Amino acid sequence: MDENKYTYNDRDINWLSFNERVLQEAEDPTNPLYERLKFLAIFSSNLDEYFRVRVSRLRQIKKIDKQLRKKLALKPNKQVKEILKLVKLQQEKFGKIFFSTLIPELAKNDIHLVNYQFYNTDQQQFTTQYFISKVLPLIDSKLVTNSDQEEVFLENNKLYYLVTFEESESFGVVNIPSDQLERFVCLPTENESHYITFIDDIIKLNLNQIFENQKILDSYQIKLSRDAELYIDDEFEGILAEKIKESLSQRNFGQPTRLLFDSSMPKTLKNEVRKLFKLGKIDMMPGGKYHNFSDFFSFPDPTNNSFLHYPAVSEVRHSEFEKSDNYFDIIKRKDQLVHFPYMSFDYVQNFINQASTDQYVTEIKISLYRVAKESELTNSLLKAIENGKKVTVFIEAKARFDEKNNLKWGKTFEEKGASVFYSYPKIKVHSKILLVKRKEKDIIQSYAYIGTGNFNAKTSKIYCDHGLFTSNSKITKDLSEVFEVLSGKMILPKPKQLLVAPFTVRNTFEDLIDIETENAKNGKPAIIKAKLNSLEDKKIINKLYIASSIGVKIELLVRGFTCLIPGLKGMSENIRITSIVDRYLEHGRIYYFENGGESKIFIGSADWMTRNLDKRIEVLTPILDTDCKKELETILDMQLSDNKKSRIQDAKSSNSYKKKMDDEPSIQSQKAIRTYLNQIHTDNNILSEQYLKTDEKIS
């Protein structure tokens, strides 16, 4: 096959297909009402970050010399226009779902979202008093005329009103302090009904108290998104962590990437706004009367109606870790898997806590990518330092939007006596790894934890991730080398079992794909199955295209975007890609290769993206224990068999739901996995195959 004929999805365009799947969940009437509102909030939050990061990047490309852009086949203007076209369609769908479906559904449940124009007398009195006592002290307003336009500045992602007046060409700019007060205010109830209003409406009703000498004509909500990247000059000079700390404030003052405005705004005012904030037409995005729908994460439920939310579920109790408080004995006896959010993150925190107080533990090493603001895990690490353990912490200072908190914790650990290491220039450390060394009978025994998700108890409740506890010396020896690299004591590790980027991950995956291709040529079973967040690396994609053309059966579960186009004749006919969006965010990475009957399976932190393979320190572990291997294969097969929440990613990015065949059971994989884990941790003799055959078990 001619490699020049390979075709790919544009990653930024295809990412919008992922956010469309989030919007589908908001539209799905089988989801509880408040969960549908949360999916709107997720959609909104995703889109904000997308404009701050990805669209911002396209704007930076526009600054490159035109001839060089042409040589590199970069067409940022064309891409941005296509993005805005698709986003406009999605936002129209968003508005229809919210106003035509969810608002009436709330009303059916005696929850009314009230516009200020429909306040009754009691509500008017209440909101006026609320404005005077709570809101007015936080208001920062400005009257804008042609002579002082350059003095106006909008902070990133904050809400404002542009206010027009009857007898003046000037206009007012008023902040909406939703970052300091609750966005939603519960109004006095009436009978059995509950009334909620936006703080925005309370301000709108009382604008005459802000501009007392003006006759208010109208007001229009706006929000400006700014570039979120930290551009750090001379990265190789000085301490990178300190440079990042100094650069954080730039985020709120970065280049504008999108101005979202009320589409009812008059054309003349739009033109003035463009000039005021030095925006191009392409930067102006029409929207509704309200922005920042991410605030619906905290939309109040005054009814406390459990039917409006996902039903509460109990966590799966790990059969081994529940037997004993001595995790060292359990892990030494046999490798153990944990799965979040089906299981509690306490198993990880308990292990670190036990290590912090165990008299035989000499050393703890951990890499932290996104650190919780406060957690049992960080408290245990501090306790370990107090108890005289040698603690080494690697802090990723460039974890986007978590830099400030990560740096704060790095400083705390340093002050308490830990050895703290920060990011390398030009490379991120994305691995989720822990190593504990313990003196046992005059030898040092090592224990490891390698996960697919961050050491963060809060996100573990909503992110689907997997983690392996092991004392296998082949793995712990490799992991010890990884920490030597992180601490600057080793440049080139030579792992025998672990896959470590940027050193061995790419070559190993390419070799494993080649083996499947060769087996297909020789008429042997050849299968590749993988679950990952994003698929972008063209070298890996080309290998998959070749494998598919030879006859390798490839099943991929990609949550986010994919640059690989499945189903193309002669190129990707044997590749099937599905995506699951459900109650929890699918975040784990699992890779399976048939390998001539001696299957290999890996979990870890790396996606098949160039940045993960070449520009980050990533760690993936093989699953060597037979039971653990079977457990992960079963979970992966359940997800690939999902016919409730699985969408087909085809060449047209249609996002059509995967249909249940007549002879298939109905499988919603997140429910099926919980049932499966409950069963195997109750009766370890239960065969996993039944969970793909029995409809009753997983419905």
Query: Which residue numbers are catalytic?
Result: 430
252 is in an annotated binding site: no
Q: What count of residues does the chain have? A: 699
Phi and psi (nearest 5°) for 500? Answer: -125, 115
- Could you give the CA distance from residue 323 to residue 343 in angstroms, rounded to a whole number? 15
545 is in an annotated binding site: no
Say if strands 216-226 and 256-262 run parallel, antiparallel, or are unpaired.
antiparallel
Give the Cβ contact number of residue 241 at 10 Å.
21
Site of tokens 């590790």: 493
438 is in an annotated binding site: no
CA–CA–CA angle 450, 467, 449 (5° rounding): 35
Query: What three-state secondary structure class fits 659?
Result: coil
647 is in an annotated binding site: no
For every residue of 273-339, DSSP letters joined together read HHHHTT--GGGEEEE-S---GGGGGG---TT--GGGSPPP-PPPPPTTTTT-S-HHHHHHHS-EEEE
CB 260 within 8 Å of CB 285: yes
346-357 vs 376-386: helix axis angle to the nearest 10? Answer: 10
**Which contiguous run of DSSP H or E holds residue 10?**
none
CB 369 within 8 Å of CB 430: yes
- Could you give the CA distance from residue 425 to residue 365 in angstroms, rounded to a whole number? 21
Site of tokens 């941005």: 80
- Could you give the CA distance from residue 244 to residue 240 in angstroms, rounded to a whole number? 6
400 is in an annotated binding site: yes
559 is in an annotated binding site: yes
CB 465 within 8 Å of CB 453: yes
Say if strands 284-287 and 184-190 run parallel, antiparallel, or are unpaired.
unpaired
Number of H helices, E strands in the chain: 22, 27
Q: In this structure, what token pair is assigned to residue 698? A: 């997983």
Binding site residue list for ATP: 46, 463, 559, 587
Binding site residue list: 46, 370, 400, 463, 559, 587
Binding site residue list for Mg(2+): 370, 400
